[in-house]
Structure 1
Amino acid sequence: MPDAIVITLLGKPGCHLCDDARAVIERVAGDLGVAWEERDITRSEADHEKYWEQIPVTLINGVQHDFWRVDEGRLRAAVAKLR
């Protein structure tokens, strides 16, 4: 589906900021009816090398949107802009 919007959370186990980001992303994705997924950077050497200092990282359709903390209003606006 070419118009699909997918939010991706890059994180790792035991990351409290990742837990906070997950809660925001779940809420926004649910409210706006978009898909979301989570990737564990410890399972990918490429993800780990690229993102380990920035987690949690939020991607929208594969493009980096945010890191460290997820601003709910900013995430909602970014998704709305893609619609």
Structure 2
Amino acid sequence: MTERVTLYGKPGCHLCDDARVVVTQVCDELGVTWSEIDITQDDQLFAEYGEQIPVTFVDGRQHDFWRVDPVRLKKALTS
């Protein structure tokens, strides 16, 4: 099963920690799978998203960065 939500972040990022909580809550509520990618493990991802993390994708398309709004995420997953 392919994850519908992907969270790009890095260790030690407090915004990433906050985003992880929101993504977990919304995805658990809706029964949606999600994954997390550590951008420090990929030079290209780090160069692309290093200033925007956390970055969330829904169904392969960029959804949000810096903060994850639970209402907006839920809407994207149920529309």
What is the match of residue 60 of structure 2?
Answer: 62
Deviation track 1:49-77 (CA, whole Å, cap 9, x = no partner) reads: 11001000000122100000000000000
- Separation of aligned partners in 2, 1:46 and 1:32: 32
What is the identity, as a one-letter code, of the residue corresponding to 2:48?
K
SS at match of 1:21: helix
What is the identity, as a one-letter code, of the residue corresponding to 1:64?
Q
5+ residue gaps, structure 2, are none
5+ residue gaps, structure 1, are none
The percentage of counterpart residues that share the same residue type is: 56
Size of the aligned set, in residue pairs, is 79
Superposition pairs of residues 13-52 of structure 1, within 5 angstroms: 13-52=11-50
Q: CA RMSD in A?
A: 1.2
CA contact (8 A) 2:3 2:35 kept: no
Q: What TM-score does the superposition give when structure 2 sets the normalisation length?
A: 0.94
